[in-house]
Amino acid sequence: MSRSEQKAQTRQRIIEGAGRAFRKGGYAGTGVDGLAKEAGVTSGAFYVHFDSKGDAFRESLTHGMAELHGGIRYFQAEHGPAWWAEFVRFYLSVKRTCDLSEGCTLQSMPTEVARSDPQSRAAFEAALREVAQAIIDGPPSARAPANVEDACAALAALTGAVTLARAVDSPAFAEQIAAAAELALLGPAGSSRASSSASAVRE
């Protein structure tokens, strides 16, 4: 591996580590030493690649949104006409129950972005528009959003449901929140968890 390749690999490792650290600890709660530790590098090595914590934040934010964009494209290619329902169920299950450091940037980072600088907010907006466009450009799928406004509303429902479900102590209530979001997004015919969740809560 050449020196330039090693440098690029280290930079990528820092970006990925920074994303995990920011998702778990927030911007204010994460320092450069913590970012470097998460990436497995020294603080000095961090400053070789980034001038500040803010620079790493913007890069990790863009990277995280690109992962979401790629995930949507994966579901579209893998599931065809069923992609939207499969994506919704995945988001409301896997992305709701995984460790927060491995969660979705769209769910965990917007409040951090709202407090950040104009450059970070502009980067987030551009990435969000690309994600919304990827949704409406996908293959026809039952109840999939048809325009940017509907795509943003659906993303807001998904991320809001995951945020609320993560915040409650009761697993049954968290499941009920996810089921309600799934029902709202997919309708009775497409929702696989609404009835089972309601039964579990009653029991």
pLDDT digits over 95-107, tens only? 999 999 999 999 9
Tokens 């065809």 sit on residue: 80
Residue range 143-152: average pLDDT? 97
2 or 114, which is more confident? 114
Residue range 12-17: average pLDDT? 95
- Ranking 23-27, 87-91, 163-167 by mean pLDDT, the lowest is 23-27
- Ranking 35-39, 84-88, 125-129 by mean pLDDT, the lowest is 35-39
Specify the length of the chain in residues: 203
Residue 158 pLDDT exceeds 80 = yes
Cα(43)–Cα(115) distance, integer angstroms: 25
Q: What are the domain boundaries of the chain? A: 58-202
* CA distances in angstroms from 13 to 1, 6, 16, 168, 186, listed in the order given: 16, 10, 5, 32, 37
Residue 60 pLDDT exceeds 90 = yes
SS3 state of residue 75: helix
Residue 130 pLDDT exceeds 90 = yes
User: CATH says 58-202 is which class?
Assistant: mainly alpha
pTM, rounded to two decimals: 0.88
User: Which residues make Cβ contacts (< 8 Å) with residue 138, sequence separation at least 6?
Assistant: 72, 76, 83, 84, 144
What pLDDT is attached to residue 3?
84
What pLDDT is attached to residue 190?
75
User: Which residues make Cβ contacts (< 8 Å) with residue 119, sequence separation at least 6?
Assistant: 58
Residue 198 pLDDT exceeds 70 = no
Cα(154)–Cα(68) distance, integer angstroms: 14
DSSP letters along 8-58, please? HHHHHHHHHHHHHHHHHHTTTT--HHHHHHHHTS-HHHHHHH-SSHHHHHH
DSSP letters along 100-156, please? GGGS-HHHHSHHHHHTS-HHHHHHHHHHHHHHHHHHHTSPP-TT---SHHHHHHHHH
Residue range 106-111: average pLDDT? 94
